[in-house]
Structure 1
Amino acid sequence: MNKKILSLIILFLGVFSVMQAQNDGKIRVKGVVLDETTRQPIAFANIGIIGTAAGAASDMDGLFELIVSEKLATYMMRVSAVGYASAEMKVYEARDKGEVQIFLKPVTYGIGEVDVTAESLVLKKLLENVVKNIGRNYIPRPYNYEGYFEYGVEVNDGEKKFKEAIVDIYDSEGYKRSNVEQTFKALNYNFSQVRRSGESGSAVDGLIYFDDIITADIVRNTRNILDLQNFRDFKLRSKGKFMYEGDSVQIVTYECLKPSLSNSGTANVTKFSGELYVELKSFAIIKNVMHVTSSAFNLLGRNLLLAGDSPRHEVMATITTNYKRVSSYYFLSGVSIVYTYKDGGDRIKGEMQYQTTKVSVNKTTPIAGRVYYEEVPTDHNFWDRYTIYLEEEE
């Protein structure tokens, strides 16, 4: 996909690949963050200049780009991602090297033999504390998100068709765990800008599959590992602890013993497992990775049952959700979804990513309903100038 490299400018985040900008007292920062072991891209890595608010975050492909002041050339830069050891260097050390590859080493978790029953009780108590502290850790009143959304689909490894959109989200309640119907009514969204890889050829081309992004926010939504009444359906294990940005993080792995729509949020689910990353100081979830296998695929969302028989089957998905803290509260900072399924004799591969670019708590704008089909004309001037960045609320 011929895609513009985008960057997320975010408070407390940072920079890494460096080259001199054109005689304007600026340094252009550009690069990619990769797993040192697998050489795979690391999405939503935090790249920050220590002691400043300048920074960036990597996108789903591990890419980032940012322009910073020349006066930051001697500052120390740090790149970090949940589950990896951080790396640091001076800005000037990367000067004139063009696009740089930054490799992060996965953290190893040393954990000895434990009493499985006792461990399970401790981890259940930990998750109970997570749920108990949601109202303290996450936005507890109405809020708006604005963000960048992209999805792409390939058929049999052919050319990828993709769509990008600027999405506006409104939550009339804030972070609280209620029933599915109430949550659905409280969370609404629409789209202000859209760009496509090609012209729409059918009604399906106008679909926006954003409900899967919304339901990936397991702190805000129900039907997942954080529903206390579902704990008996899960086997919990500790993967260990590590330090992340000065706080101790506990990794809890979970496997659902009796997968269903009510405990996974996925219709036709056959397997469901994942990893939770919990900051022990605040009891806040900062990352969740879910692995889901199901027997059918619905274009309108993974939590909806299909009407009648469908040729779409052998569905496998990995859903990664990230949260960050800015000022008083944690917020949904990014979601990536990678999935595959068979449609007749074809193998379909899809990817989605969402990154929050603005959070509004003090000044909110209500949105009515959800947009499942869009006909927004492409504003090429907007997209030619667009760069993802997080705006601070006034």
Structure 2
Amino acid sequence: MKILSIIQLFLFLSVSVYAQEGSKVAQTIKGKVVDAVSNRPVSYTNIGLENTFYGTASDGEGNFELKIPGDMVEKNIYFSAVGFTNKQFPVNTLFGKEFNVVKMDAQSYGVDEVDVAAQNMVLIRILRMASEDIKYNYGAGPFNLHCIYTNNCVVENKTQTPQKASVLIYDAKGYADVSKEDAYISRKYSVTKEADDGDYRFSTGLMNIDDLLELDWVRSGSSVLNPALLTDFKLSLESQPTIDGKEYWVIAFSQNKPTLEGSGDYYANTFKGKITINKVDYSVLKIEGEVQSSKNNRQGKGLAVGNTTKNYFTDVAYHFEVAYKELMLNQISLNKTYSYNGKTVNEQLGLKVDRVHSNNLTTLETREYFPGE
């Protein structure tokens, strides 16, 4: 954003100097740049007059304004944005209109047909659009999610009693307010275990529901869905599948030196994954990830372990998948292996959304970690 501001300032100063040298403004054009298919705003589009340094950029909502000097009214104006085909036409076609809507077409060539540097820019653009369009593609709150929680645990090759419980989630704002802070503040839940389940893990609250919900990056705008972090990732196009008649990009991502902000794991040593994004509306279909970590706090993978604490997991490795369906979270699964008290443990956790509704709501004020009967 700082670089963009400097560029815009430079353009503004260039325009100002030009005007001071005697050029008279003939027209002021205003408008909005949008995706031709989805009508979503195209943010930070480069806009200029051909063969000059005269131009501007659209803002975060695609809006722009440009004053046209009298001796440039016969020139062509161009619009350029990563992930879209360049657009160029006579600038005077925009004259006489109070507000113009300029529609950009998504690039028709395959992302895999460009060189590595250009592909990285295109993939960053796709991920940024996916992040910016979350508020359009997913349901706003308040709403309830009725979920089924499961945990199948194996300790030293011995299968433990499976855990199963009903989880009711109340989300006050939903996907209209995308941030880690709001995802934590607005999402509350209660847990009801099966009546005959006496597993001690219920009574201790060690169900890892917070860890599961934190994997819903669409809700929190985390990792590769946080535009501010995209330059920290190595990106590549893995495939372009057609699923249920719709075309998608599958973008692979990794961090050479995993960060807490990128991986969500305080002690991550390796981190990689892939995200599946719809080519038309930039909605996220699925997120997958793999992490290896030297240790984890028992209360959550994003928490540090105190210097005097000995009660934590070591040699941690896990794979997770998050699926979305019909404007909403559909399922989170986590397969995790670690060492604890000298024993090897494997946990297969799941949170499956069974029903969603926004009327006759059950409002929750807290996160009830300790389930009732």
Q: Which residue of 1 aligns with 2:319?
A: 318
Distance in 1, matches of 2:334 and 2:206, equals: 17
Q: Which residue of 2 aligns with 1:249?
A: 248
Q: Which residue of 2 aligns with 1:383?
A: none
Q: Which residue of 2 aligns with 1:125?
A: 125
Q: Which residue of 1 aligns with 2:225?
A: 226
Whose relative contact order is higher, 1 or 2, with alpha carbons under 8 Å and at least 6 apart? 1
- Are 2:353 and 1:352 aligned? no
Distance in 1, matches of 2:280 and 2:253, equals: 21
Residues 225 and 264, structure 1, Cα contact 8 Å, conserved in 2: no
Distance in 1, matches of 2:311 and 2:262, equals: 23
Residues 259 and 268, structure 2, Cα contact 8 Å, conserved in 1: yes
Q: Which residue of 1 aligns with 2:335?
A: 338
Q: 263-272 vs 274-283, which deviates more?
A: 263-272
Q: What's the CA shift for 1:175?
A: 0.6
**Counterpart of 2:230 in 1: which secondary structure?**
helix
Q: What's the CA shift for 1:336?
A: 0.8
Q: What's the CA shift for 1:121?
A: 0.4
Q: What's the CA shift for 1:293?
A: 1.3
The residue type paired with residue 210 of structure 1 is: I
Distance in 1, matches of 2:167 and 2:333, equals: 15
**Counterpart of 1:189 in 2: which secondary structure?**
strand
Q: What's the CA shift for 1:373?
A: 2.1
Distance in 2, matches of 1:196 and 1:225, equals: 41
Q: Which residue of 2 aligns with 1:30?
A: none
Q: Which runs of 5+ in 2 are unaligned?
A: 1-109
Q: What's the CA shift for 1:234?
A: 0.3
Distance in 2, matches of 1:156 and 1:291, equals: 22
Q: What's the CA shift for 1:114?
A: 4.5
1:66-122 Cα shifts (integer Å, max 9, x gaps): xxxxxxxxxxxxxxxxxxxxxxxxxxxxxxxxxxxxxxxxxxxx9967411111100
The higher radius of gyration belongs to: 2
Q: Which residue of 1 aligns with 2:276?
A: 277
Residues 150 and 350, structure 2, Cα contact 8 Å, conserved in 1: yes
Aligned residue-pair number: 262
Q: Which runs of 5+ in 1 are unaligned?
A: 1-109, 378-394
**Counterpart of 1:372 in 2: which secondary structure?**
coil
The residue type paired with residue 165 of structure 2 is: A
Q: Identity of counterpart residues, as a percentage?
A: 24
In 2 relative to 1, CA 139–111 (structure 1 residues): closer, same or farther, beyond 3 Å?
closer
- Are 2:261 and 1:262 aligned? yes
Residues 154 and 160, structure 1, Cα contact 8 Å, conserved in 2: yes
Distance in 2, matches of 1:203 and 1:283, equals: 39
**Counterpart of 1:303 in 2: which secondary structure?**
coil
Q: Which residue of 2 aligns with 1:302?
A: 301
1:188-214 Cα shifts (integer Å, max 9, x gaps): 1002343566x3457865533211221
Residues 112 and 119, structure 2, Cα contact 8 Å, conserved in 1: no
Q: 275-284 vs 184-193, which deviates more?
A: 184-193
- Are 2:163 and 1:166 aligned? no
In 2 relative to 1, CA 192–235 (structure 1 residues): closer, same or farther, beyond 3 Å?
same
Residues 143 and 172, structure 1, Cα contact 8 Å, conserved in 2: yes
Structure holding more helix per residue: 2
The residue type paired with residue 170 of structure 1 is: Y
Residues 313 and 342, structure 1, Cα contact 8 Å, conserved in 2: yes
Distance in 1, matches of 2:324 and 2:201, equals: 36
Q: Which residue of 2 aligns with 1:367?
A: 364
In 2 relative to 1, CA 348–195 (structure 1 residues): closer, same or farther, beyond 3 Å?
farther
In 2 relative to 1, CA 143–210 (structure 1 residues): closer, same or farther, beyond 3 Å?
same
Q: What's the CA shift for 1:177?
A: 5.0
**Counterpart of 1:219 in 2: which secondary structure?**
helix
Q: 279-288 vs 154-163, which deviates more?
A: 154-163
